[in-house]
Amino acid sequence: MHQSEQGQLKGPWSKVVARSGKAGFGLWALLLAFALPAAASVPETEKLMLSGHGPEDAVPWDFEIDGGHGESRSGTIPVPSNWQQQGYGHYQYGYDKGPRVGDHAVYHRRFAIPSAWKGKTIRLVFDGVMTDTLVKVNGQVAGPVHQGGFNRFSYDITALVKPGEQNSLDVHVSEASAAKDTDIAERHGDYWAFGGIYRPVWLEAVPAQSISHVAIDAKASGALTADVTLAAPRTVTHLVGQLVDTAGRPVGQPLTADIPAGGAGRIRLLGQFDHPALWSAETPNLHALDVTLFDGDQPVHHVVRRFGFRTFEVREGAGLFLNGQRIMLKGVNRHSFRPETGRALNRADAYADVRTIR
């Protein structure tokens, strides 16, 4: 499908307008007047923070640890943080060849689920915990133990929580991983080894039929492929995607794809766009893909994903190319660390590190 640079109506009405053609110009004008209120009513992913976003707004959780400083003393700890920086556990350097320690701690807090979330799918998301993590919600295990301190993980807790009521959360954290390779990779390097919930924790609620993931491949040629993974599709009928440029303006006709009767786990949107502003390190132009899932004419779920049009190539004997231009890579080892907060960082810390590297 060829796309022009003309702006198009966004949101749940875009497919209707696209089908109306020139004869539907009057309809287009009428719908345009109501486009913003209609778009605002499209269900989006709802988010409820259970922690702070970083050290500057960390939230206290109940806490108890079984070794080192503060052993067996019930107290509170800010989340996110590394427990060593809060006066708990042991300090240990990764290259230390002596006896290894790996403390175990339990975090606890209570939280309320909004009554409006009843009937929705609810996920509990951890952005990063060091290292092995067992999660219980209302006394029931939420899922398998997660191993690895640098990966986001989540659990579907819909069946475990009670919307409109108080719920309990217990998080058991082992600083040392039971997986030998993970422990060596993450705790035996040239840096301090830490433990704890050091990145944010939150709840997400989405409609029962929803968009769970969007994988975008956007080439420097303007070719765009978006693989959209759906959660529990049963009666949904089609997807609509709208490209939005770096200035926030819709670009080209909406991308559409029908969903087979009975649902499908993954649907592909395809498009071709003329002369998009390309992404590079020097010109980090970002577009957005506005994706809406429909059940007939009713919008069910809506997400927006940012991305850049770019093409990487490895040419034998020539090296690495970005958008047809040869580039050189210079390695810098960023440990994501601060003396005061360990590996618990905020957005300002990340930007400061990037400025230093550049």
| pLDDT at residue number 22 | 34
Reported confidence tier of residue 32, pLDDT bands at 50, 70, 90: very low
Domains contained in the chain, number: 2
202 and 214 both lie in a single domain:
no
Residue 280, SS3 per DSSP: coil
H-assigned helices in 177-229: 180-187
Question: Of 290, 307, 324, which closes a domain?
Answer: 307
Query: pLDDT at position 26, please?
Result: 33
**Is there a single domain that holds both residue 118 and residue 81?**
yes
pTM of the model: 0.85
148 lies in the same domain as 295: no
* Burial classification of residue 223, based on how many CB atoms lie within 10 Å of its CB (0-12 exposed, 13-18 middle, 19 or more buried): middle
- Residue 153 to residue 127: CA distance in whole angstroms: 7
Asked if 157 and 192 sit in the same domain, the reply is: yes
CA 201 → CA 81, 109, 127, 137, 275, distances in Å? 11, 12, 6, 14, 40
Asked if 69 and 217 sit in the same domain, the reply is no
Same-domain pairing of 80 and 144: yes
- Residue 330 within any structural domain of the chain: no
Is residue 333 in a domain?
no
Same domain, residue pair 192 and 269 = no
Range of the domain at 289: 2-43+209-307
The residue from 160, 188, 206 where one domain ends is 206
* CATH number of the domain within which 297 lies: 2.60.40.10
> Do 162 and 176 share a domain, yes or no?
yes
Residue 350 lies in a domain: no
Please provide the average confidence, as pLDDT, over all residues in the chain. 88
The answer to whether residue 331 is domain-embedded is no
**What tokens were used for 111?**
């939280």
Top-confidence residue, 308 or 9: 308
pLDDT in the model for residue 318: 96
Contact 150, 198 (CB under 8 A): no
Q: Is residue 299 part of a domain?
A: yes
Q: Which of 263, 279, 307 is the last residue of a domain?
A: 307
- What percent of the chain clears pLDDT 70, i.e. is strictly above it? 89
Same domain for 192 and 254?
A: no
Residue-wise pLDDT tens digits, 80-111: 999 999 999 999 999 887 778 889 999 999 99
The predicted pLDDT at position 222 comes to 97
What pLDDT, on a 0 to 100 scale, did the predictor assign at position 219?
Answer: 98
User: Do 163 and 132 fall within a single domain?
Assistant: yes
pLDDT at 338: 94
Q: How confident is the model over 198-241, as pLDDT tens digits?
A: 999 999 999 999 999 999 999 999 999 999 999 999 999 999 99
pLDDT of res. 333: 81
Q: How far apart are CA 21 and CA 17, in angstroms?
A: 7
Lowest mean pLDDT among 16-20, 125-129, 354-358: 16-20
Whether residue 234 is contained in a domain is answered as yes
Quick: pLDDT tens for 246-267. Answer: 888 999 999 999 999 988 889 9
Same domain, 25 and 104: no
Is residue 315 in some structural domain?
no
Q: Say if 349 falls within a structural domain.
A: no
Judge if 199 and 91 occupy the same domain.
yes
CATH at residue 182? 2.60.120.260
Is the per-residue pLDDT at 34 higher than 50? Answer: no
Averaged pLDDT, 112-135: 97
Q: What is the pLDDT of residues 291-347, one digit of tens each?
A: 999 999 999 999 999 999 999 999 999 999 999 999 998 887 888 899 999 999 999
How confident is the model at residue 31, as a pLDDT? 36
